[in-house]
């Protein structure tokens, strides 16, 4: 059993394959956290690790009488509250009817439920049938009767535990929530590092490792989206944790809006990690009998380092978060017209792109921004989701039928949450934008944000998208969001409920996503927000892949995809080959390198094929064939980070099939070094007693103009080694890839 309860001791033990999570009802009914770490015996009682000690200026609940050793400010809590003597980061702040902000939660009851608990209107980690069970624990404030039910769903074989809270007002009067986080994790001992992933537009999810120190580390977003700037996935790990050793916990918030993560190191060197909806500009009214549900937080544990943590996190996302027909189905190799044409296209230009693409094996054309309304630039047209027949002569169906006639699929771009000031929609419904009516509003990319909390807005968008998607054989949608929220005010809510708008906006987005993906289950939906500005587990519940970044420079993508890989599997990352010099960096990288990097994701192209040489077209044909042949290995295999781009001038990563019979090794040289030392890479995930043949991939050509030099630098390899030798002695590669930005690929097969 995954959930074990000692009724006499009120001891709750959650067991996964490799981890134990334990808590108990302590004195006076407080729910105390005991342990989260490597697995211990089912009957182990770790209560001794929670020892009451008196600390000055850490007060005691009144019930304790003369005992000055019991303090909520010192003892580890399962769900921390404000106002009752715990001065650390709080999960819950309630404004009571009398204006006080005191809460004091005590244990009432518990229950074991089958399967995964499902929060209403929010994404969650689901149970495929018999994979999970849930423990619910009811807490109540004995004075106000505000109740909090904590839900813990245990996925034993995933080493994952998900958590969320439902706050119920049984007080008999109105209360308001100023802070309602999803989880609290108190760690009694150990020195930790916090790994987070910061960035900006075209520089997302950069790896950053910080020792946890006294005070607080904050990772957050108040942009109305999870954002390019921080990501709602963090790792708490031991100082000595590496890719292959050390204990670590990965925590994902399944939420795509404003979020807060606080990591606090307190006066007696305990670490508290809290995560949930950001309390800035949040205030939620609960009338008597109302409830509020927090987003789901998912925790994944590894006792074998960061690499194993990522493997377990990837499996949870791939099998228990992503949904729909394309959860495990092959994704088509596509070409997107954006970087090839921008707004300057018509149906004939799109057809020619598709015709050229079909000749080299590309499987889908995606028509990006500019096909609708009056949309010749980003100054106008958003919201007018009607085909512009001045560009698409004869209508959408005629174009799609022509594309399908080439044996290709067709996809389309939408940005549903936005509206242009110069649009028929805005002129008809100015009240539909988010903005207080006496202000002109903040423009970003020349557009405003629609009030997604409104049912009439969502109904309009659903009807327009449904009409478009029903009008032709459209098999892919890119769902974009190209600005963040400001002027957050909704006309339909009274003044005392404006603090609900940010969250209601996000609930509205999820509602529209659920409606449209359910209505079109055979369509592949890809999320996007100026690239990777909303790359989170919440969006992956609706869109099984997300455009990883608008930065398509291969070298920059090595770093972006490296950081992304800690929390998200390769099958979720949209990654394309684009033109050179790259639009964002001016850098010129070899086509082979662009292919190696882009095939480490959902592969596609973003360029004008009419400007590509015949030799390059032949290389592209090979890239597509190799990707299609290796698709299952890349999309569903185990992914290992071998050489970090942050620690040297060569980055390396490896894919290994689930049965360990085949592998793919990718190397990218970020900067060449003269007379460099030989490279020896220890591979991972292979079968120790198996024999493997290693061959250099088909896309490793170097042309220096010197035949002898070319032969030496192309690293001819056809050798046989045991799995044990490859993992412990390593694969010896010399000479290195040649020149800045070169890449090599090696295929490894069991014989």
Does 536 participate in catalysis according to the annotation? yes
Looking at 471-553, list the stretches that DSSP marks H as alpha helix, in order from N- to C-terminal side. 501-519, 537-540
Query: What is the C-alpha to C-alpha distance for residues 86 and 241, in angstroms, rounded to an integer?
Result: 31
C-alpha dist (Å) from residue 512 to 201, 222, 230: 25, 22, 25
Does 424 participate in catalysis according to the annotation? no
Q: Which of 220, 536, 551, 556 is catalytic?
A: 536
Q: Which of 67, 616, 698, 710 is catalytic?
A: 616
How many Cβ atoms from other residues are within 10 Å of residue 662's Cβ?
Answer: 18
Q: 709: Cβ–Cβ under 8 A, 6 or more apart, which residues?
A: none
DSSP string, 603-650: EEEES-GGGS-HHHHHHHHHHHHHHHHTHHHHHHSEEEEEE-TTSSSE
**Do residues 584 and 623 touch, judged by C-beta distance below 8 A?**
no
Look at residues 341, 413, 406 and name the one whose alpha carbon lies nearest to residue 373.
Answer: 413
C-alpha dist (Å) from residue 665 to 311, 624, 630: 17, 17, 12
Integer-rounded Cα Rg, in Å, for the chain is 27
End-to-end Cα, the chain, rounded Å: 40
C-alpha dist (Å) from residue 494 to 453, 455, 490, 607, 655: 13, 16, 8, 49, 54
- State CA 599 to chain mean position distance: 19
- Residue count of the chain, please give it: 751
Query: What is the C-alpha to C-alpha distance for residues 244 and 685, in angstroms, rounded to an integer?
Result: 11
- State CA 328 to chain mean position distance: 17
367, two tokens: 């028509």
- Would you name the residues annotated as active-site residues? 536, 616
């Amino acid at each position: 059993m995954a959930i074990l309860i000692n009724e006499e001791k009120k001891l709750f033990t959650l067991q996964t394959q490799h981890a134990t999570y334990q808590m108990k009802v302590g004195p006076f009914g407080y729910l105390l956290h005991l342990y989260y770490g490597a697995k211990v015996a089912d009957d182990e009682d770790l209560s001794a690790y929670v020892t009451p000690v008196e600390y000055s200026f850490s007060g005691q609940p009144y019930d304790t009488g003369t005992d000055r050793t019991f303090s909520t400010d010192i003892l580890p809590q399962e769900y921390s509250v404000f106002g009752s003597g715990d001065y650390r980061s709080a999960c819950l702040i309630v404004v009571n009817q009398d204006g006080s902000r005191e809460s004091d939660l005590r244990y009432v009851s518990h229950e074991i439920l089958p399967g995964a608990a499902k929060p209403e209107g929010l994404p969650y980690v689901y149970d495929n049938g018999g994979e999970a069970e849930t423990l619910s624990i009811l807490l109540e404030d004995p004075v106000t009767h505000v109740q909090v039910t904590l839900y813990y769903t245990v996925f034993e074989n995933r080493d994952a535990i998900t958590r969320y809270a439902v706050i119920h007002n049984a007080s008999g009067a109105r209360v308001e929530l100023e802070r309602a986080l999803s989880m609290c994790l108190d760690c009694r001992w150990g020195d930790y590092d916090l790994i987070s992933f910061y960035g900006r537009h075209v520089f997302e999810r950069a790896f950053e490792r910080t020792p946890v120190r006294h005070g607080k580390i904050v990772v957050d977003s108040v942009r109305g989206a999870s954002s390019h700037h921080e990501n709602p996935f963090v790792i708490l790990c031991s100082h000595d944790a590496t890719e292959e050793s050390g204990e670590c916990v990965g925590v994902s918030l399944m939420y795509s809006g404003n979020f807060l993560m606080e990591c606090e190191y307190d006066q007696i060197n305990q670490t508290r990690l809290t995560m949930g909806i950001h309390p800035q500009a949040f205030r939620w009214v609960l009338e008597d009998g109302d409830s509020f549900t927090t987003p789901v937080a998912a925790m994944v544990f590894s006792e074998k380092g960061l690499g194993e943590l990522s493997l377990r996190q990837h499996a949870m996302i791939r099998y228990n978060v992503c949904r729909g027909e394309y959860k495990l189905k092959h994704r088509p190799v596509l070409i997107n017209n954006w970087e090839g044409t921008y707004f300057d296209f018509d149906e004939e230009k799109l057809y020619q792109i598709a015709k050229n693409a079909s000749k080299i094996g590309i499987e889908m054309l995606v028509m990006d921004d500019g096909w609708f309304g009056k949309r010749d630039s980003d100054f106008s047209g958003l919201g007018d989701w009607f085909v512009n027949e001045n560009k698409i002569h004869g209508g959408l169906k005629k174009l799609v039928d022509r594309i399908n006639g080439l044996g290709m699929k067709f996809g389309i771009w939408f940005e549903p949450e936005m509206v242009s000031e110069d649009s028929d929609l805005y002129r008809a419904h100015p009240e539909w934008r988010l903005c207080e009516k006496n202000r002109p509003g903040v423009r970003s990319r020349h557009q405003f944000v629609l009030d997604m909390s409104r049912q009439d807005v969502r109904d309009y968008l659903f009807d327009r998208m449904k009409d478009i998607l029903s009008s032709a054989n459209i098999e892919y949608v890119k769902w974009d969001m190209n600005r963040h929220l400001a002027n957050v005010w909704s006309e339909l809510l009274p003044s005392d409920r404006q603090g609900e708008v940010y969250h209601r906006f996000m609930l509205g987005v999820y509602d529209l996503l659920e409606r449209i993906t359910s209505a079109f289950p055979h369509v592949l939906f890809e999320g996007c927000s100026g690239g990777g500005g909303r790359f989170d587990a919440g969006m992956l519940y609706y869109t099984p892949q997300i455009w990883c970044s608008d930065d398509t420079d291969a070298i920059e993508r090595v770093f972006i995809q490296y950081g992304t890989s800690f929390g998200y599997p390769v099958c979720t990352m949209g990654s394309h080959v684009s033109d050179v010099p790259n639009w964002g960096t001016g850098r010129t990288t070899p086509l082979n390198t662009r292919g190696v990097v882009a095939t480490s994701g959902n592969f596609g192209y973003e360029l004008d094929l009419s400007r590509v040489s015949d030799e390059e077209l032949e290389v592209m044909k090979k890239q597509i064939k190799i990707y299609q042949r290796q698709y299952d290995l890349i999309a569903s295999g185990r992914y290992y980070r071998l050489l970090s781009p942050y620690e040297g001038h060569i980055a390396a990563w490896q894919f290994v099939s689930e049965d360990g019979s085949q592998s793919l090794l990718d190397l990218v040289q970020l900067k060449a070094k003269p007379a460099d030392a030989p490279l020896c890479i220890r591979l991972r995930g292979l079968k120790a007693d198996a024999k493997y043949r290693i061959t250099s991939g088909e896309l490793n050509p170097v042309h220096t103009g010197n035949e002898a030099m070319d032969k030496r630098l192309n690293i001819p390899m056809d050798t046989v080694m045991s799995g044990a030798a490859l993992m412990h002695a390593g694969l010896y590669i010399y000479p290195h890839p040649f020149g800045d930005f070169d890449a090599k690929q090696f295929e490894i097969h069991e014989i």
